[in-house]
Amino acid sequence: MTEISPKLSPLSNLLNKKLNCSEFKSELKGKSYEIWFKGVKNAIDLFREENISLNAEIQTLTQEYGCITGGYVRGNRW
């Protein structure tokens, strides 16, 4: 996760930008596409290169937290 995600983030941002500028975007109509394109636009606006390592760390900590709390809920103590 800490190796793959940082490499995918810039590529995902690039694809989002291409999608947002696509001439075919207007052909996708409907409320669900409108909501989806808003999410894509927000992802583009919020993307920062310097946040990639922070996001990877957050993902790792979230996974660790899930293991700890998941084990506790099942009656195990990590």
Calpha distance 67→42 (Å, rounded): 30
Ranges of each domain in the chain: 5-20+28-73
Whether pLDDT at 78 is above 80: no
**C-beta atoms surrounding 5 within 10 Å:** 16
Name the pTM for this structure. 0.72
Q: What's the pLDDT at 28? A: 94
Helical residues (DSSP H) of 1-78, grouped into ranges: 5-20, 31-46, 52-73
Tokens 């190796």 belong to residue: 3
Q: What's the pLDDT at 77? A: 54
